[in-house]
């Protein structure tokens, strides 16, 4: 037992060290000027994706349920925090404090949504659960797109029709403008904050996984009936994993929102496509492997950028690489072939079980 714990601890330290080293190297390269501005601009989104991938892995890998609506929680976190930041822009002038509070708001709102959605959703199983999470993600995106909020001297005005329906006094300003989203969010997110958020996410997820609660969650994943019969409260632990995951996705959304001047919700950033992209990170990195999620998120985010020279062909190559990697990694035929000719596949157990 002690030996196993040590191995675990070592493993986790490697993950932290890897992220830190990558951050320092990147930061050095940026300060030297060896990084293109395009790539530099990609750093905060990259941090967002890593946090999303690690948090989704908590649901998919540790809890063993497929969620296709992860971007919905990110959307909730992004919009609630951007709303907060925009309202508080003149009240709280210290950017770090404002961002910190926005972060708390985003996390709290996303966590509330996690509980609200988790209670009904977790009654379902397998593909049905997946489709309902997908539906929730789409509903959230859709509702954000018809939401109008304005503020004037009398307070807040809400509408789901258009700006005119807000019926504001002349001094009013529109904060959330339907499909145009939120403009003028302070750009408070930096690469360093993103890095800190990754460390925090890793710390939370790794510690949860290695705790008594985490073992209960994994017991539910492996055999729900057996877990229930030894007295594990299935609903409680499922909801715990789901909510923590949602809260972390919310945090990623906060980071994402404060890196953009205009925040809109469309299919590619908060819709089904985004949820799928994150799921791809998780599965390709190895279901249940935290470090794998981080690496896959980095590689797959940078891959289209590295391939940018190939312009039109880059997404095509991305798709082919994705298919080939899945078959190479998982097909029983490919695994047997690999073990025959290279011997590095031997120690790997089926990580996705």
Partner 1 sequence: MSFISYLINGLSLGSVYAIIALGYTMVYGIAKMLNFAHGDVIMIGAYAALISMTQAGLSPVIAILIAVVVCTVLGMAIERIAYRPLSKASSTLVVLITAIGVSYLLQNVALLIFGANAQTFPTVIQWKGVSLAGGRLNISGETIVTIAVCLIIMAALITFVQKTKSGQAMRAVSEDRGAAQLMGINVNGTIALTFAIGSALAAIAGVLLCSTYPSLTPYTGAMPGIKAFVAAVFGGIGSIPGAFIGGILLGIIEIISKAYISSQMADAIVFAVLIIVLLVKPTGLLGKKIQEKV
Which residues of this chain interact with partner 1, rule CB under 8 A?
A: 60, 66, 120, 123-125, 127-128, 130-132, 134-136, 138-139, 142-143, 145-146, 160, 225, 272, 276, 279-280, 283-284, 287, 312-313, 315-316, 318-320, 322-323, 326-327, 329-334, 350, 352-353
Q: Which is nearer to partner 1, 154 or 222 (CB)?
A: 222
How far apart (Å, rounded) are the C-alpha atoms in residues 211 and 16? 18
**Do 208 and 244 contact (CB within 8 A), yes or no?**
yes
Q: Indicate the residue among 56 and 240 with the shorter CB distance to partner 1.
A: 56
Question: At its nearest, how many Å lie between partner 1 and the CB of residue 27?
Answer: 32
Closer of 53 and 92 to partner 1 (Cβ): 53
Q: Which is nearer to partner 1, 262 or 267 (CB)?
A: 267
Count CB neighbours of 262 within 10 A. 12
Report the run of H or E that residue 18 belongs to, with start and end. helix 2-32
- Which tokens belong to 15? 């993950």
Least Å distance between CB 145 and partner 1?
Answer: 6
Q: Are strands 173-177 and 148-152 parallel, antiparallel or unpaired?
A: antiparallel
Q: How far is the CB of 315 from partner 1 (least distance, A)?
A: 5
Q: How far is the CB of 104 from partner 1 (least distance, A)?
A: 28
Interhelix angle 290-306/191-209, rounded to 10 degrees, is 150
Cβ closest to partner 1, residue 14 vs residue 327 = 327
CB of 43 closer than 8 Å to CB of 195:
no
CB nearer partner 1, residue 27 or residue 180: 180
Q: How far is the CB of 329 from partner 1 (least distance, A)?
A: 8
Q: Sheet containing 155-159: which strands, arranged edge to edge?
A: 155-159, 148-152, 173-177
Please tell me the distance from the alpha carbon of residue 176 to that of residue 159, in angstroms, as a whole number: 10
Pair 85, 93: CB distance under 8 Å: no
Whole-number minimum distance, CB 121 to partner 1, in Å?
8
């Amino acid at each position: 037992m002690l030996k196993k714990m040590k191995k675990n601890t070592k493993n986790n330290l490697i993950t932290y060290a890897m992220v830190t080293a990558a951050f320092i190297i990147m930061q050095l390269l940026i300060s030297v000027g060896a990084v293109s501005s395009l790539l530099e601009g990609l750093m905060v989104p990259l941090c967002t994706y890593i946090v999303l991938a690690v948090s989704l892995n908590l649901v998919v890998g540790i809890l063993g349920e497929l969620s296709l609506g992860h971007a919905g929680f990110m959307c909730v976190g992004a919009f609630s925090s951007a709303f907060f930041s925009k309202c508080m822009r003149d009240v709280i002038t210290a950017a770090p404090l404002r961002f910190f509070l926005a972060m708390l708001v985003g996390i709290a709102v996303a966590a509330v949504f996690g509980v609200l959605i988790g209670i009904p959703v977790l009654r379902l199983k397998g593909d049905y659960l997946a489709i309902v999470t997908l539906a929730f993600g789409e509903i959230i995106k859709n509702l954000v797109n018809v939401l109008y909020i304005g503020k004037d001297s009398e307070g807040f005005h809400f509408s789901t029709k258009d700006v005119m329906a807000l019926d504001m006094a002349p001094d009013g300003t529109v904060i959330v403008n339907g499909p145009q989203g939120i403009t003028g969010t302070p750009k408070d997110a930096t690469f360093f904050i993103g890095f800190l958020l990754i460390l925090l996410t890793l710390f939370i997820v790794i510690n949860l996984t290695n705790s008594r609660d985490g073992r209960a969650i994994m017991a539910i994943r492996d055999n729900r009936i057996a877990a229930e019969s030894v007295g594990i409260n299935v609903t409680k632990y499922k909801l715990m994993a789901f909510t923590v995951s949602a809260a972390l996705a919310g945090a990623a959304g906060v980071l994402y929102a404060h890196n953009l001047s205009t925040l809109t919700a469309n299919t590619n950033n908060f819709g089904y496509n985004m949820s799928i992209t994150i799921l791809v990170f998780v599965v390709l990195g190895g279901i249940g492997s935290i470090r794998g999620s981080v690496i896959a998120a980095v590689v797959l985010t940078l891959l289209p950028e590295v391939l940018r020279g190939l312009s039109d062909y880059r997404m095509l190559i991305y798709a082919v690489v994705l298919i080939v990697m899945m078959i190479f990694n998982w097909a029983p035929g490919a695994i047997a072939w690999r073990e025959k000719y290279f011997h590095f596949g031997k120690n790997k157990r089926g990580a996705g079980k």
